[in-house]
């Protein structure tokens, strides 16, 4: 139990003794604040809400309650106006926090709340035959981090790459290949050549609208199983996946399933039949829809007037398949913010079909990746390729290593870890709904709120442990070794790591951990700059190195949850 939970329990007990109802430990915990200035205390409790129940002024309530709350882990409880400020027993807290982290290592912050239940996570999902652009980065790294966080909470994540491998665009690509394609060029550089053909199709279609009709015709042939269309489609898909896997391997992202849109082709008739049986389908201009008027939403289009099925039909089939396959605790879709209405409609249709588990499905939206403040567009050829960005990031880090530390072991591996990590961290330190402007220069700086800064801090701390010949089975903390305000700031942050993971999981928000590791790195660097760690008496040095070792363990685990490596030397 964290110290905030212990304090919340003491406050709840004191209120219960005064006959105040509706303030259990969980409610009190949610009211606790962190004072803006550490000199004011470690935890604060505002008493405004209690005025009505106790029929007293908040300052009076604070003064009376403060006298009733004491004992471990508190050193002092003080009323300041309408607040009670709590000061923790720093020596006892330091011993408990550091001891726990060193004993548990990477398991610190683990939870069993998930009880091993499965959580399918729909992430990445690029379109085949198109390049893996910076625009696809967000779903990939946000989804992978959420999977890591859910696993930390005791769930069993199922990473699903729902590939965009079906739709009219493949009819267009087949037309483009038949008109202008060169087999040798496609084999040599599949994604680059297929993108060139795709962009050319849209350029030519401006002056020749009949190309759009041809594209639709060839997609219909594909749907009907035409041999040539299927052969080309499968070739485009296989070549694309090979290229994608190079990028996934570079980012250390793997999948449990690559069932894309095409996988559900034979599963959609069942959805239409179920909707008919439940009396949910109505006709609208020749198309079949599910009305969502009662939710003030447009109808969900299930089948076009020409009989073609749509995204909604396919996603309903996918939802049924996933529930039947995984019996999930929750299902997560990491898909851009522009699809918000689509998922709202999807869940409401499932609810109308009588599936209570639809309430356990979560759309996790995110903002756009911008270039010079504008959205990237594959169709217009205005795209920044992720593979090129990762390669450039790695090359730039290699240059820095050659300049600063040319004798570093495993230079290539460290350059990959730092270069790729910089790109991932630049995304995940931001709240996912915010748009992000692409800037390689900003990503790669070793100062400020960046991945390289956090990784370098971890490496610096590892260096301290090596130089100090740190032994894990250290003696108890020496009196006064960690009395500084800098040490206490680090200990307070370390103590809060499990709660940060919990918040990140509850809100599907990896940026909670991104911000946390930045704060911990900054706090540790202040400790490093202001407190002598190695040049001290042996017991003092050993105690301070225990704190350093705890920082190493938590930084490494925080970075791992985000999908980053933590090099021990840089």
Tokens of 138: 């967000």
Co-location of 257 and 363 in the same domain:
yes
Nearest to 431 by CA among 349, 369, 515: 515
Res 139: pLDDT: 96
Residue 29 lies in a domain: yes
Domain co-membership, 466 together with 390: yes
Quick: pLDDT tens for 196-221.
999 999 999 999 999 999 999 999 89
* pLDDT of 474 over the 70 cut: no
Identify whether 274 is part of a domain. no
For position 378, what pLDDT does the model report?
Answer: 52
Pairing of strands 74-80, 83-88: antiparallel
* Model confidence pLDDT, tens digit, residues 237-283: 988 888 899 999 999 999 999 999 999 999 999 999 999 999 999 99
The reply to whether 340 and 445 lie within a common domain is no
Residues 404, 553 within the same domain? yes
Q: Are residues 79 and 124 part of one domain?
A: no
Residues 124 and 69 in one domain: no
Does 356 share its domain with 407?
Answer: no
56: containing domain: 3-88
Q: Which two tokens stand for residue 523?
A: 């706090």
Cα–Cα distance, 148 to 332 (Å, whole number) = 13
Mark whether 335 and 436 lie in a shared domain: no
- Which tens digits make up the pLDDT trace of 64-105? 999 999 998 999 999 999 999 999 999 999 999 999 999 999
* Phi and psi torsions of 392, nearest 5°: -65, -40
Rounded CA separation 310/342 (Å): 11
Reported as a single tens digit per residue, the pLDDT across 517-558 is 999 999 999 999 999 999 889 999 999 999 999 999 999 999
Count the domains in the chain: 3
Burial of 173 (0-12, 13-18, 19+ CB in 10 A): buried
Domain end position, chosen among 48, 71, 88: 88
Q: Tell me the CA end-to-end span of the chain in Å, nearest whole number.
A: 36
pLDDT digits (tens, 9 = 90+) for 380-419: 556 678 888 999 999 999 999 999 999 999 999 999 999 9
Position 505 scores a pLDDT of 98
| Greatest alpha-carbon span in the chain | 85
293 within a domain of the structure (yes/no): no
Among 173-177, 301-305, 328-332, which is the least confidently predicted range?
301-305
At 452, list the tokens: 């390289």
Tokens 């050319």 belong to which residue? 200
- Identify whether residues 143 and 24 lie together within a single domain: no
Q: Does residue 449 share a domain with residue 545?
A: yes
Instruction: Choose the final residue of a domain: 370, 400, 430.
Output: 370
Q: How is the chain split among helix, strand and coil, in percent rounded to 5?
A: 60, 10, 30
Q: What is the pLDDT of residue 370?
A: 83
CATH number at residue 135: 3.40.50.620
Average pLDDT over residues 175-192: 92
Q: Give the pTM.
A: 0.92
pLDDT, position 1: 67
| Last-in-domain residue among 370, 399, 425 | 370
568 confidence band (pLDDT: 50, 70, 90) = very high
- Are 256 and 392 in a shared domain? no
Give the model's confidence band at 25: pLDDT under 50 very low, under 70 low, under 90 confident, else very high: very high
């Amino acid at each position: 139990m964290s110290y905030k939970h212990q304090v919340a329990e003491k406050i709840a007990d004191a209120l219960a003794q005064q006959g105040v109802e509706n303030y259990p430990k969980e409610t009190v915990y949610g009211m606790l604040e962190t004072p803006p200035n550490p000199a004011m205390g470690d935890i604060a409790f505002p008493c405004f809400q209690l005025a009505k129940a106790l029929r007293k002024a908040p300052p009076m309530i604070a003064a009376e309650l403060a006298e009733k709350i004491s004992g471990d882990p508190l050193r002092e409880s003080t009323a300041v106006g309408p607040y009670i400020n709590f000061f923790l027993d720093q020596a006892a807290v330091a011993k408990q926090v550091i001891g726990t982290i060193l004993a548990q290592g990477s398991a610190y912050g683990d939870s069993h709340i998930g009880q091993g239940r499965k959580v399918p996570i729909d992430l990445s999902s690029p379109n085949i035959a198109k390049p893996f652009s910076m625009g696809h980065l967000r779903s990939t790294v946000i989804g992978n981090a959420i999977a890591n966080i859910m696993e930390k909470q005791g769930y069993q994540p199922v990473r699903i790459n729902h590939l965009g491998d079906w739709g009219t665009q493949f009819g267009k690509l087949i037309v483009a290949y038949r008109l202008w394609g060169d087999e040798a060029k496609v084999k040599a550089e599949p994604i680059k050549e297929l993108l060139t053909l795709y962009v050319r199709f849209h350029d030519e279609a401006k002056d020749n609208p009949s190309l759009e009709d041809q594209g639709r015709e060839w997609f219909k042939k594909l749907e009907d199983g035409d041999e040539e269309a299927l052969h080309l489609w499968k070739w485009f898909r296989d070549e694309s996946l090979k290229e994608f896997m190079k990028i996934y391997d570079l980012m250390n992202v793997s999948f449990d399933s690559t069932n894309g849109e095409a996988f559900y082709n034979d599963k959609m008739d069942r959805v239409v039949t179920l909707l008919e049986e439940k009396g949910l389908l109505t006709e609208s201009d020749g198309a079949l829809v599910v009305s969502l008027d009662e939710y003030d939403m447009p109808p969900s289009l299930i089948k076009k007037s020409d009989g073609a099925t749509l995204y909604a039909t396919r996603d309903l089939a996918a939802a049924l398949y996933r529930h039947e396959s995984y019996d999930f605790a929750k299902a997560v879709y990491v898909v851009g913010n522009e699809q918000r209405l689509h998922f709202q409609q999807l869940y409401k249709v499932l609810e109308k079909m009588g599936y209570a588990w639809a309430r356990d499905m979560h759309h996790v939206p995110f903002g756009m990746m911008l270039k010079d403040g504008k959205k990237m567009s594959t169709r217009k050829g205005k795209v920044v390729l992720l593979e090129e960005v990762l390669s450039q990031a790695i090359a730039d880090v290699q240059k820095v290593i050659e300049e600063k530390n040319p004798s570093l072991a495993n230079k290539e591996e460290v350059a990959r870890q730092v270069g790729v990590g910089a790109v991932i961290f630049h995304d995940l330190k931001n709240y996912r709904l915010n748009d992000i402007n692409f800037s390689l220069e900003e990503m790669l700086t070793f100062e400020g709120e960046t991945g390289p800064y956090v990784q370098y801090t971890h490496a610096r701390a590892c260096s301290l442990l090596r130089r100090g010949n740190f032994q894990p089975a250290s003696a108890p903390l020496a009196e006064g070794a960690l009395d500084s305000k800098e040490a206490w700031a680090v200990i307070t942050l370390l103590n809060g790591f499990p709660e940060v993971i919990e918040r990140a999981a509850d809100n599907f928000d990896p940026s909670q951990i991104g911000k946390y590791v930045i704060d911990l790195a900054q706090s540790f660097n202040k400790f490093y700059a202001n407190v002598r760690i190695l040049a001290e008496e042996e017991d003092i040095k050993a105690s301070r190195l225990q704190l350093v070792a705890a920082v190493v363990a938590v930084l490494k685990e925080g970075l791992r949850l985000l999908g980053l490596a933590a090099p021990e030397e840089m």
